[in-house]
Structure 1
Amino acid sequence: MQEKKERFHGIPMLPYGLLSAVMQESPGNRKEIQITEMAEEGFCFRTARAICSPQKLEVCFYDMERAEYGTVVITEFEICREKEEDFFTQFLVWTEQEEYRRQVQKLVRQYSKYIRLKLEDDGELESELTGYPSEFDGEHCSSLEEQRQYWFAEKAGRAEINMEIPEHTECAIELDCPERYTAYLQKSLPEFYHDYLRKNHLQGSGLEARIPDRIYIGNQFCHLLFPEEELLFAMLEKAKKEFTAVTLSFTYVREILLEDTFALLRKIDHWCSKNELEMECVVNDWGMADFIRKETKYLLPCLGTLLNKRKKDPRINYKKGERDLYSQNSFNADFYQEFLRESFGIERAEWESCGYMQDIPAGKNSLHFPFYQTNTSQYCPLYAVQKEGDRGRQRLVYKCPQYCKNAAFLYPKHLNMIGRYNSLFALDRDFLEDSEQLKRYTDSNIDRLVLNLL
C-alpha cells in the first residue's frame, strides 16, 4: 500500500455538489464522508474520528449532461490511514473497479469543460449546459410601450389570446400605482377597466366580457406605492358606492414605518366598522398579520406573494432534471394552513400564474395573472440608476419621485421579463393563450382571478 500511496496524485477539493460519498462500517451504520482528493485509482477522505475497516463505499457522481446523480458501489478496495491531524484523520482508498474509473474520467471531462466555458463566455456556458438560447440575448425592446406591444399587440407567430373567466369565479383587478389610483377615481369602473385593457393592447382578448367584481388597492412589493391616506379613503368610498369589493395590498413593513402603518390600519378598521363592512388585507409581513389578528375586528388577512413563496423564474424551462416538486410549496401542508388559521386568522392565499401548473390546495385561493414576481429589493435598483446612474449604488428611499411611472429595466425579448418598481417580473403568456390551463385552475381550487398588468 505504501507504493500505491506514493503513486497517488489526486485532484484536490472538487466542489462538494459534484462528488460525495457514503461509508458503511456495518449493516445499518452508514455515514456520509467528505472526499478531499480524487483520482482514477481512488480517493482520499477525512473523518473526525478513527474508523473500522468499512464493508463498502458508495460514491455519488453528478452528471452535468443528465442533471442527476449516479452512484458507484465500491466493494473491492484497499484503505489505509494517510495522516492524522488534531481534528481529523485522513484516509486513502485505492480501488481498481472499472466503473469507478470511468465515472471519474467522465466527471473530470465535464468539469474541465465547465471551467473553460465559465472563464470564456457565460452565454456559451448556459447554452452548452442547458440549451439556453443565448444567441437571442441581444434582442431588446427600446421602450416600455414597445415591450407591451411585443407582448400583447403583435400576433405573428403567437396564439390568439381569448380568455373567458367563468361566471362561478370572482374577477378582480389590481390598482398598484398612483397613476391607476387617480384614473380609477376619475372614471366609472367599467370605463376604467376598458381603458386599462386598451392601454395594454388587450382589447378583444375576451377579458372585457367580465367587469371586475373586486379591486385590489396597493402594491405588494413597494411600500412607497401605497396610496396616500386621503386618496385611499376616496377610493374606498367610490368602491362602496359602486358596490365593488376591496382588498388592500400591503408589502413588508420597515421598522420606521410600523407606527404609521398600524395607525392607518386602525383608521381602516374604524371605516369598516362605520360602514358595516369587512375588508381583506393582503399581508407580506408577519408583524402586520399579528397586529390585524389582535387589534382589528373587520380586517381579514390574506397570505401575500412574498410570504407564499415558491420557485419562479422565466428561465426555469431550461432547467434539466425533474421539476415535479415545483408544483407544491409550504401552503400545501395541512398543518401549515391550520397554523395560519389559528395564529393569524389567514384563510385565503394569493398565488401567481408562473409558467407551470401548481397544485392549489383546497380553501380560498386567488390567482394573479399574467405577470409573476421573481425578485424584490428594499433598496430600489431603478431609483439608483435614475438618481445615481449606477444600479449598484442602492440605498433606502424615503421620498420617491416615482421614476417607475415611465422607466423600467428591459430584458431580452425571449425572456418575457421586466424590471418595474423595486422588483423583477415575468410574463406567463401561456396562461393567456391556454384556455385548458385556466379551466384546470378554476375547476379546482381557484375561486378568484386577479388581473395584474404592468
Structure 2
Amino acid sequence: MIPFGLLSGFMDSKEIRITELGEDGFRFRLTEECPEPEQFRICFYDMKKAGYRKVEIRKFEMNAVAGTLEAEERCVQENDGSFFREYSVRVEQKDYVQEVQRLAGEYSRYIRLKLDGDDGELAKTLTGYPAELDEVHCESLEEQKKLWFGGNSSSVRRNPDADQSVEESFLDKGTELALELNGPSLYEEYLCQPLQDFLASYWQKNYLTHSWLAGRTPERFYIGNQFCHNLFPTENQLFSIMDKMRSEDLEVTLAFSYIREFMLSSVEKLLEKVDNWCCVHGVNVEIVVNDWAMVEILRGKTSHLSPVFGTLLNKCKKDPRMKYKSGDISLFQRNSLNAKFYRDFLAKEFHIHRYEWESCGYPQEFPPGKNSIHLPFYQTNTSQYCPLYALCTTGDRGMQQLAEHCPKFCEKYSLLYPEHLHMIGRYNSLFGVDKTLLESPEMWKKIKGIKPDRIVVNL
C-alpha cells in the first residue's frame, strides 16, 4: 500500500482508498457494491514539486475481484461484523503509466534513504537541508543570544541607510510597545528596580541596547506566561507588579496559559480579585486567553477585564525549518481569524476584539481588528508535560510527567539546538527566532492586511 498522502483517488466525486497499484491498473475497496463510474481521478504526489499530479481516466475496465471477495468478507465479518468489496481497474493510459513509474521510483528512493541513513541525510537529499551544520552548537544560552542579537552584527542596530519613516513612526508612538514579563526572574527584577533601570538592564543583557526598539519606553507590560502554567506569578507578586505598573502609568495585560482541571477554581478566584482591583482603581486589564474554559470564566466580568485571543488558540504553521521545504508558503499566510464570521462569533459571544500573533519567518495577512505581534521568539511546540523537567529529573526528555511542584529548572537551564536552526527549548516549549522585524524596521511595510497596532517584545 502506498501511503495515502502520496496517492489518493476519486471515483467520479467519491473518494476511494487505493490498496494496490501497478502500471496496468489499480485496486480499491468500498463498503458497498457500486455501478461503474464515468471516470477516475488519481492524484500522485510529486516530492520534487511538493504538489500533486492529477490523471483523469475515462477509458478503463472495472471488475469485482473474483475468488477473494467471499473469503475476505467472511474474515472481516468474523472480526468486526463489517464488510467491504474490492474492485480492480485495468488502465492502458500512457500518462497514468508514467506517473506510476515516477511515484514508485521516488517512494523506493525515500524508503532506501530512510533505511540506510539518518534523518539529517534524508532531509539533505530530499530538501537540501544542511545536515552537516547540525553538529554546530553553542555552549550556553548566553552565547546563543549573543550570537543572535549581539557581537559585531550591525543588522540589529539602527541602519542609517534603512527606511527611517517606519522607525520614526514607531518612536512617535504610532504603534504601541509592550514587553513581556514571563518568568520569576523578570518579575523580581521589575519589582526591585525603577522602570528606567529595569529597561536599561533588559536591553543590555539581551544585547539589544542599540536596537531601534530600545529607543522608546513601553506603554504596556504583559505579566505571565502563555505556554507554562507554572510560570505565572504568585498572587502577592502579581498585585505588587500591577500596583507598581499603575504608579508608573503603564497598561497591564495578564497572560494565562492553558487551564488544567485543578486550576479552574483558583484561576476564577484570582480573576475575581483582579476584577475588584480594577474596580477600586478605575482601570481596565487585558486577559490573554489560551483555553476555552477561560472565556467561560470571564463571562460577566468583561466590563473591566478584556479578553484577548491568545497564541495557543491562534493556530498557525510555524517551524524554523520551513525555509528548507518546497511548495507554496503563501498558503500559511491566512488562518481561521481571516474569516469574518469567526471574528464576529468571537466578538459577539466572548467580547474578543484583539488577537495575538507571532513574527514567525514568513509574511502573514493580518485580519481587520486589533492585532498584536510578538517578536523575536515564536512558539512551535508546547507540552503540559515538561520535557526540560523530565530531562533534569530523569535524564530522559521522553519520560515526561506533569510538574505539580515545579522547581523552576528553566531559570537555569534551556535546551540548545544546532545554531543554524535558530531555535531553543525554553521551559515546556520549543521556540524559533525570527529577527526579520528586529533587524529591519522597513519590513513593517511588507506586512499584508491590517498592520499590527502593538509590538510585544518577548526576550
Structure 1 and Structure 2 fold alike (TM over 0.5): yes
The C-alpha deviation readout for 1:206-251, integer Å capped at 9, x for no partner, is 2221111111111111111111111111111111111111111111
Secondary structure of 2:204 counterpart:
helix
Letter in 1 for 2:203: L
Per the alignment, residue 31 of structure 1 pairs with 14
Counterpart Cα distance in 1 of 2:209 and 2:223: 23
**Is the aligned partner of 1:22 residue 2:18?**
no
The C-alpha deviation readout for 1:52-102, integer Å capped at 9, x for no partner, is 333332221111111111112223322222233432222222222222111
Per the alignment, residue 205 of structure 1 pairs with 211
Q: How far did residue 263 of structure 1 move?
A: 0.8
Per the alignment, residue 33 of structure 2 pairs with 50
Structure 1 residues 242 and 160, CA gap change in structure 2 (3 angstroms):
closer
**Is the aligned partner of 1:148 residue 2:145?**
yes
Counterpart Cα distance in 1 of 2:45 and 2:227: 38
Counterpart Cα distance in 2 of 1:443 and 1:257: 37
Letter in 1 for 2:3: P
**Is the aligned partner of 1:287 residue 2:297?**
no
Q: How far did residue 296 of structure 1 move?
A: 5.7
Moved over 6 A (4+): none
Q: How far did residue 440 of structure 1 move?
A: 4.0
Counterpart Cα distance in 2 of 1:442 and 1:70: 31
Per the alignment, residue 129 of structure 1 pairs with 126
Q: How far did residue 451 of structure 1 move?
A: 0.7
Q: Select which of 130, 136, 140 maps to 1:139.
A: 136
C-alpha RMSD of the superposition: 1.7
**Is the aligned partner of 1:64 residue 2:70?**
no
**Greater displacement, 33-42 / 191-200:** 33-42
Give the conservation status (yes or no) of the 8 Å contact 2:128–2:324. yes
Counterpart Cα distance in 1 of 2:234 and 2:130: 44
- TM-score (structure 1 length as normaliser): 0.92
What does 1:379-390 align with in structure 2 at a 5 Å threshold? 379-390=385-396
Give the conservation status (yes or no) of the 8 Å contact 2:302–2:351. no
Per the alignment, residue 5 of structure 1 pairs with none
Counterpart Cα distance in 2 of 1:244 and 1:413: 36
Q: Select which of 208, 215, 221 maps to 2:227.
A: 221
Could you tell me which runs of 5 or more consecutive residues in structure 2 were left unpaired when the two chains were aligned.
74-82, 160-166
Q: How far did residue 428 of structure 1 move?
A: 0.2
Letter in 2 for 1:97: Q
Give the conservation status (yes or no) of the 8 Å contact 2:309–2:354. yes
Secondary structure of 2:365 counterpart:
coil
Q: Select which of 72, 84, 88 maps to 2:84.
A: 88
Percent identity, aligned pairs only? 50
Counterpart Cα distance in 2 of 1:417 and 1:377: 16
**Is the aligned partner of 1:346 residue 2:343?**
no
Q: How far did residue 115 of structure 1 move?
A: 0.3
Give the conservation status (yes or no) of the 8 Å contact 1:352–1:368. yes
Q: How far did residue 443 of structure 1 move?
A: 9.2
Count the aligned residue pairs: 435
Could you tell me which runs of 5 or more consecutive residues in structure 1 were left unpaired when the two chains were aligned.
1-12, 25-29
Structure 1 residues 293 and 400, CA gap change in structure 2 (3 angstroms):
same
The C-alpha deviation readout for 1:391-424, integer Å capped at 9, x for no partner, is 1121111221111011000001011000001111
Q: Select which of 175, 185, 194 maps to 1:188.
A: 194
Secondary structure of 1:154 counterpart:
coil
Counterpart Cα distance in 1 of 2:112 and 2:183: 46
Letter in 2 for 1:17: G
Give the conservation status (yes or no) of the 8 Å contact 1:357–1:437. no
